[in-house]
Structure 1
Amino acid sequence: MFRHTKRLQFEAKPERPDPVFAHKLQELIGGAYGELSVTWQYLFQGWNCRIEGKYKDLIMDTATEEIGHVEMLATMVARLLEGAPATATAEAVKDPVMAAVIGGMDPQQAIVAGGGALPADSNGYPWNGKFIVASGNLLADFRANAAAEAQGRLQTARLYNMTDDPGVKEMLKFNLARDTVHQKQWLRAIEELEADGLETDVAPSALFDEENQEHNHTIWHLSDGPHGPEGGWTRELEYLMEPQPLGGPASAPAPDPALFATYAPATSATAAPEIAEGDVQTFYSERDGRWKNQVEGNKRASSASDTKAEAQREGRRLAKDRGVTHVVRKKDGEIAETHDYS
């Protein structure tokens, strides 16, 4: 149950009408990081929360406050539009640059909303429910919440510097303060989730054994910028300075003829890579159900592992040490990937 109180959470009275700024202020209502977004984000997070108690109460307290923020901003927009479009708009567009860029108020504020706020952003784009994040995982959601409040505060700060109206500035000062609090509370709540043993650093905290062990600790150097490895994250993560593509060509299959998509059938099959003596192969042995590494030309395997990830990691090390190619096969024997370390 929700109960509406007629008084605003904080005053929303401009000193004078300003339809141009009313247009800008729409971003804080219906933008991707506006108050409508965090309102519905927190409401659905609260409704989807499976843990009764402090976390759900915090979410619902904040969600309900955000409804009040939408009301404050909508009231401010309506008051900034007082007298528009007949007189205030004409005054606003006397500056030719402003007139060319924004043309005064958003016409839909008059035509559709009757001189009031819209559920839209500063370009008039309607608010979209796709903006919200409500996954049911509190760690993932709280991180999204902190980011949303950071973006919201950033936009509020920018708008604060776009007006000299004392009344508008006072309301925005309040909004800035609440965005500060909300960022801090979500960050602290993330810490408490870990302290309570509910979540860890990574969400979800599952399937760590199943994920590809070779690729869960590397950052791929894929840009010209050389300074990534200088960061503190290299204490836990390895910077892979010369990563190689692991998949085959990104070719789509032949289309359904009824779709009439242009298609040239392949003229010949792609030849399998040639395996030279001394290269290292990682493969599955049906005989004992283990993954093995064998140097091409040797009669016996160099190592055996219970998992493909362990064998692949050892095969890569062996190939690097020998300066040869590492060939990784699928369970059925087909070549999955090759890496040249010569």
Structure 2
Amino acid sequence: MFYHNKKLQYFTPPDNPDPIYAKKVQELIGGTFGEMTVMMQYLFQGFNCRGPAKYRDMLLDIGTEEIGHIEMLATMIAHLLDKAPINMQEDGAKDTIVGAVMGGNGARDSIMDVMAAAMNPQHAIVSGLGAMPADSVGFPWNGRFIVASGNLIADFRSNLHAESQGRLQAVRLYEMSTDPGVKDTLSFMIARDTMHQNQWLAAIEELKADGLEDTPVPSSFPDLPDKKQHAYQFLNLSEGTESAEGRWAKGQSIDGKGEFEYVEQPKPLGSEPNPPTPDPRLHGTAMTPQVPAAQTLTS
């Protein structure tokens, strides 16, 4: 059962409407690494968790928090779209383009600038000046963005990645604004992203300490002795040998089960491909002329 508290976790209203910035904020809601993604990712990981109760409870705690973050951002967008000057914006765009032509400047560049800076028309047409489950260019949020594999360390590493990208995008949006209210609300969300990154790092360490998972994932799969020589080789497959200077190219492997080896001139271990003859009923092109499929079927 979920309960909704009408008070926001944190919110400071924007000082001024800004429909163009509202379009940008959509990325934090419905983008690949937006709040909808982490909300669904954590909740499904929690719903599917078969490990110790502390992990399931933690996942549902943070997944529920992310629902609240979406409401915070939706509220911010509603304020940013308040009294959006739709007609004025359209007239301004026309004047900008006309001015560029009359002034001898490149109209194409001016048109592209206007398109990049314009208000999202769907905020007026579709959502009635409200937030949408979409990113900053109007692409709808997609359930394929989420990761919920049932292996907690694999999932927690994905969560760390999502929070890292999400905090990066929130920081970039913070830098794009001069509105004190927007910056105050985003600063709270950035602080929570800091906590969440630390949380997933701690959870990964906890899984290891509990003896439930380790590197490589899945740690429950046994090592294959006949392929171990390939498990710790770094292959230099681009020009230059600067990669040999990294931690990944020498010394003990991170999982403690091998030694990194730098292979400066790796050789192919397989032969040239020789695909089998295609089924004539699929009418692919083979190495030699084929009997027509109809003859094959009637013979």
Q: Shorter-normalised TM-score: what interval?
A: 0.7 to 0.9
Q: CA deviation at 1:202?
A: 1.7
Q: Which residue of 2 aligns with 1:136?
A: 150
Q: Which residue of 2 aligns with 1:264?
A: 287
Deviates more, 1:171-180 or 1:96-105: 96-105
Give 2:182's aligned amino acid. Answer: V
Structure 1 length as normaliser, TM-score?
0.73
Q: CA deviation at 1:248?
A: 2.4
Q: CA deviation at 1:214?
A: 2.3
Matches within 5 A, 1:239-278: 239-265=262-288
Q: Which residue of 2 aligns with 1:271?
A: none
Give 2:35's aligned amino acid. Answer: E
Instruction: Tell me the distance in 2 between the aligned counterparts of 1:95 and 1:8.
Output: 40
Give 1:37's aligned amino acid. Answer: T
Q: Given the alignment, which residue of 175, 188, 202 partners 2:216?
A: 202
Cα 1:208–1:238, aligned 2, differ >3 Å: closer, same or farther? farther
SS in structure 1 at match of 2:234: strand
Instruction: Tell me the distance in 2 between the aligned counterparts of 1:243 and 1:22.
Output: 51
Q: CA deviation at 1:199?
A: 1.2
Matches within 5 A, 1:36-51: 36-51=36-51
Give 1:73's aligned amino acid. Answer: L
Cα 1:119–1:251, aligned 2, differ >3 Å: closer, same or farther? farther
Unaligned runs of 5+ in 1: 267-342
Give 1:244's aligned amino acid. Answer: K
| Contact 1:20–1:102 (CA under 8 A) maintained in structure 2 | no
Matches within 5 A, 1:1-342: 1-86=1-86, 89-90=89-90, 97=110, 99-210=113-224, 212-233=227-248, 234-236=250-252, 237-265=260-288
Q: CA deviation at 1:99?
A: 4.8
Deviates more, 1:87-96 or 1:176-185: 87-96
Cα 1:103–1:31, aligned 2, differ >3 Å: closer, same or farther? same
Instruction: Tell me the distance in 2 between the aligned counterparts of 1:91 and 1:190.
Output: 54
Higher relative contact order (CA 8 A, sep 6+): 2
Instruction: Tell me the distance in 2 between the aligned counterparts of 1:89 and 1:8.
Output: 31
| Contact 2:156–2:203 (CA under 8 A) maintained in structure 1 | yes
Instruction: Tell me the distance in 2 between the aligned counterparts of 1:38 and 1:119.
Output: 13
Instruction: Tell me the distance in 2 between the aligned counterparts of 1:160 and 1:192.
Output: 33
Q: CA deviation at 1:85?
A: 4.7
Cα 1:263–1:84, aligned 2, differ >3 Å: closer, same or farther? farther
Query: What whole-Å deviation, never above 9, does each CA across 1:235-278 have from its counterpart, x for those lacking one?
Result: 12111111111222244433333333333339xxxxxxxxxxxx
Deviates more, 1:244-253 or 1:28-37: 244-253
SS in structure 1 at match of 2:150: coil
| Contact 1:20–1:92 (CA under 8 A) maintained in structure 2 | no
| Contact 2:45–2:148 (CA under 8 A) maintained in structure 1 | yes
Query: What whole-Å deviation, never above 9, does each CA across 1:103-149 have from its counterpart, x for those lacking one?
Result: 52111121111111111111111111111111111111111111110
Give 2:278's aligned amino acid. Answer: P
| Contact 1:85–1:110 (CA under 8 A) maintained in structure 2 | no
Unaligned runs of 5+ in 2: 98-109, 253-259, 290-299
Cα 1:155–1:95, aligned 2, differ >3 Å: closer, same or farther? farther
Larger radius of gyration: 1
Q: Which residue of 2 aligns with 1:281?
A: none
Instruction: Tell me the distance in 1 between the aligned counterparts of 2:83 and 2:178.
Output: 19
Cα 1:36–1:225, aligned 2, differ >3 Å: closer, same or farther? farther
Instruction: Tell me the distance in 2 between the aligned counterparts of 1:57 and 1:132.
Output: 19
Structure 2 length as normaliser, TM-score?
0.83
Q: Which residue of 1 aligns with 2:106?
A: none
Cα 1:29–1:239, aligned 2, differ >3 Å: closer, same or farther? same
